[in-house]
Chains A and B, each alone.
Chain A
Amino acid sequence: MVNLANYKDLVIGDRVIKPGSSEEFKTGDWRSMLPVIDLDKCIDCLTCWIYCPDDCILVKDDKVVGIKKTHCKGCGICAKACPKKAITMVEGEE
């Protein structure tokens, strides 16, 4: 959830005056579908990582380890792009 500041504390004129605001803006709130990765099927080709518009595929040591739920909007591009069909979109998943 975004920090709900008092109207007085908001920068006037709807301006963002410091960097990193997209990190604070948790777009995961919008999600109705969550990608679930079957790591047994995954060959770590990182195609999903390339395609994800929100940089939500978590990678450690060149290996896919999971999804960044705070920012994943559930668009399903990763599931479409996966050559091994290792990703399924699950409805209502937390």
Chain B
Amino acid sequence: MTPAKHSDIAINGDCAVALAWRQIDPDVCAAYPITPQTIIVEKFAEYIANGEVKTEFVCVESEHSALTLCVTACSAGARTFTATASQGMAYMWEVLPIAASMRVPIIMAVANRAVSGPININNDHGDVMSARDTGWMSLFAENVQQAYDLSIIAPRIAEHHEVQLPCLMNLDGFILTHAIERMTPLDTHAVKKFVGEFKPLYPLLDVEHPVSHNLMDGPLFYFPHKYQTVKAMDKALEVTKQVFKEFQQISGREYNLVEEYMCDDASCIAIVLGSSFGTMKEAVDQLRREGMHVGVAMPRLYRPWPISDLAKVMKGKKSVIVMDRHLSIGSYGPMFPEVVAAALENEGEMPKMYNYIYGLGGADTMVSDFVSVYKDVKEGKAKRINYLGVRE
């Protein structure tokens, strides 16, 4: 029997995430609205008010409480979701590494937004990049469809018994959260079956087997416990591949650790995260028509970092452009050194590497901008670090 065909719908990214959550029906959701994530929790609150989900919806007083609530709810054995952005995530920061070290598979949608200051509500990757080392997995969506799909995929990876790590599901603020796109949803039963039942490890509410959580960890145990998280991240890469395959079977949509576009025969490729991948594909198409052998790739995850898959994409390339939508002030963009490190895997074959910082604070980056990036690199005008579109 072929699964029932579902007609496409027009929906924005936030509502697509809320729709995925409705179909999953998590046990607990902590809600503290912040632009551009607000619509996710608002729409989900509507589902609750209408009795469409049984989720315990907790309106907390801040993001710090939101994530603390998620940590405790998930420790108790509940499948737990929340959403945040920018300053909200910054306010959560103290709890982020605690969630990871407690190994509670919370799913958090992040509507990526610049972090103040200066105050700015528009899209860049300042929030998620600043939370890079906290031990959360990090998935990136290119469009609304992917925001929906990854919302369904994320719990499967996070809750895998050998992974048990919290996961960020990133969608670009406004570009994806507020723009309406066409999307093919899945059947609710198919989603429920795919996600399955949450089987928590050592839940606090299992009164037959009492446990203590989050204990003081002296120097003899802190490092080994951190190392366990490292191993879980390694495992997560394997699990992600498997879950992507399973998802393809129910949806027909293919996902990879590193998404490639025209990379096979390209001499110069760019590496980018999030919605800009789509814009860059358009730039690649234009340049291909002009006869330039260019391509673009997007790591589907930023944590765990898919090192060997990235190395494979870069193998034999003359130049690699790393597009960073965040700035590690006083250094390169955060992704650049990581791509360089991944290129080291191809021993003795280092391509020329360029770093472009672009689109900070929602600065518009058009197809023509990306076209100029490839052209600058080809014509030798690019420096090691370039700040795209800054008026000098």
Contact = CB atoms under 8 A, between A and B. Distances in A.
A13 B220 contact: no
Contacts of A2: 220
A14 interface: yes
B211 A10 contact: no
Contact of A16 (B103, B201, B212, B228): B212
A4 B211 CA distance: 20
A19 interface: yes
A16 B227 contact: no
B347 interface: no
A12 B215 contact: no
A12 B103 contact: yes
B102 interface: yes
Q: Which of A11, A19, A21 has the most CB of B within 10 A?
A: A11
B224 interface: yes
Contacts of A16: 211-212, 215
Given A14-B215, A19-B210, A7 B104 contact: no
Interface residues of A, number: 14
Contact of B224 (A7, A19, A21): A7
B211 A14 contact: no
Interface string B208-225: 011111110100110011
Given A7-B227, A7-B228, A19-B210, A14 B102 contact: yes
Nearest to A1: B220
A15 B202 contact: yes
B164 interface: yes
A12 B221 CA distance: 11
B232 to A, nearest CB: 8
Contacts of A21: 212
Interface string B88-112: 0000000000000111100000000
Most chain B C-beta atoms within 10 Å of own C-beta, residue among A6, A14, A17: A14
Nearest to A17: B211
A11 B224 CA distance: 11
A15 B214 CA distance: 6
Contact of B212 (A10, A12, A15): A15
Contacts of B228: 7, 10, 12
Contacts of B221: 10, 14
A14 B101 contact: yes
A11 B101 CA distance: 12
A17 B220 contact: no
Contacts of A12: 103, 164, 201, 228, 232
Given A2-B220, A4-B220, A14 B225 contact: yes
Nearest to B227: A7
Interface string B167-202: 000000000000000000000000000000000011
Nearest to B231: A7
A57 B101 CA distance: 37
A12 B228 CA distance: 7
A11 B231 CA distance: 14
The 10 nearest A-B residue pairs measured at CB: A13-B103, A7-B224, A16-B212, A17-B211, A7-B227, A13-B102, A15-B202, A12-B103, A14-B225, A15-B211
Given A10-B225, A12-B103, A13-B102, 12 more contacts: A7-B227, A7-B231, A11-B202, A13-B103, A13-B201, A13-B202, A13-B213, A13-B225, A14-B213, A14-B215, A14-B225, A16-B212
Interface of B: 101-104, 164, 201-202, 209-215, 217, 220-221, 224-225, 227-228, 231-232
13 contacts: A7-B228, A12-B164, A13-B101, A13-B102, A13-B104, A13-B213, A14-B213, A14-B217, A15-B202, A15-B212, A15-B214, A16-B215, A19-B210
